[in-house]
Amino acid sequence: MVQVMFARCGKGQLLVVLIVATLIRCSPERSLQEVATRDTGRHSNAGAVVLPSFSGDSAYFWVQQQLRFGPRVPGTDGHRQCRDFLVSQLRRWADTVWIQRFTWELYGTTYELSNIIARFQPHHPKRIWLTAHWDTRPFADEDPNPANRSKPIPGANDGGSGVAVLLELARIFAHHPPAVGIDIVLFDAEDMGKSSDLERFCIGSQYFAGTLPIGRPVYSINLDMVGDHTARFLLEENSMKAAPELMHQLWQIGSSLAPQHFVFESGPPVFDDHVRLIAVGIPAVNIIDQLLIGHQDSDPRRHYWHTLNDTIENISPATLKVVGQTVLQWVYHIQ
């Protein structure tokens, strides 16, 4: 992930958030019954809403599997091998999986890029998109050691975590079809832009939004940097403008599961893949640990964004579970 455009956070915004949050229909009691497990079996009494459980351990495994390929930088073997791995896994679970191939010129080099699209119930008219970027940054330009700044980042959190949560959700959707059609879209080339060159970030989502190879969704949810041990997800400003009701519903569920992670505070706008979708009129939001960006957090352990320290040690199965369970509960409660 990307750049903060500017910061704006006021008491007035927070007041509105808290008032609206009391008006939406959600059931935190049900969500708190969930326990981390590899099992995706049903957990409900007869007549109650069937609610699968998201496994943080499985999601963690999916992060590890991506890291096996090394950095997933466009133009490299690791990128191609990881793409093939993601497609083969998604084909186990989705109704249709295909690659949107395209080329893009960046800083004098033409890259072969791939957005990966996995569709569940492709003929269902009402659709939800769940998205993340699967590429990793080619250069660790925020690394404290200047000698590292031309090396690619490992991308455990920035790239790996969002994809991992979506893979685990795909596994669950295969066993428990939701009442809506789901499209999982993994965007390529999110993180190739040089610092402050926003137009060269989020290339895969820009191409996808420009071509719209599948029908528009009711809502789209992007996941980026969702695995840190002490992640703090704020109400990102672009998301709040695009789909405030969806943000309130997600944060209501998330904060009932883990108030330390889903925080009802306004966050500054972040330029990420959801912005490309918003630009073509899609109500898209972003769940992102945005205090990682620019090393803003007070905890020095969390100063690994766009450095060689974006490694598995910073990833928590418990955090992955909270994010996955939040999205899962929202998906299974909408009609």
Which parts of this chain interact with Zn ion (CB under 5 A)? 1, 158, 191
Choice between 1 and 214, CB closer to Zn ion: 1
Choice between 191 and 273, CB closer to Zn ion: 191
Choice between 1 and 282, CB closer to Zn ion: 1
Choice between 186 and 258, CB closer to Zn ion: 186
Indicate the angle between helix axes 317-333 and 162-175, nearest 10 degrees.
50
Choice between 183 and 289, CB closer to Zn ion: 289
Q: Burial level of 267, CB count in 10 A (0-12/13-18/19+)?
A: buried
Q: Which of 85, 243, 233, 109 is nearest to 163 (CA)?
A: 85
Q: Find the helix or strand (DSSP H, E) in which 287 lies.
A: strand 284-288
Choice between 1 and 278, CB closer to Zn ion: 1
Min dist. Cβ of residue 158 to Zn ion (A): 4
Min dist. Cβ of residue 270 to Zn ion (A): 10
Q: Are 281 and 251 in contact (CB under 8 A)?
A: no
Choice between 72 and 127, CB closer to Zn ion: 72
CA distance 305 to 120: 33
Strand pairing partners for 222? 131, 286
Q: Find the helix or strand (DSSP H, E) in which 84 lies.
A: helix 77-93
SS3 19: helix
Phi, psi of 242 (to 5 degrees): -80, -40
Q: Are 71 and 154 in contact (CB under 8 A)?
A: yes
CB burial readout 189-225, b (16+ within 10 A) else e: bbbbbeeeeeeebbbbbbbbbeeeebeebbbbbbbbb
SS3 74: coil
Min dist. Cβ of residue 237 to Zn ion (A): 18
Q: Are 183 and 75 in contact (CB under 8 A)?
A: no
Min dist. Cβ of residue 306 to Zn ion (A): 6
DSSP secondary structure, 110-175, as one string = EEEEEEEEEEESTT-SSEEEEEEE----S--TT-SSGGGTTSPP--IIIIIIHHHHHHHHHHHHHH
Choice between 33 and 195, CB closer to Zn ion: 195
Residue identified by tokens 């109500």 is 283
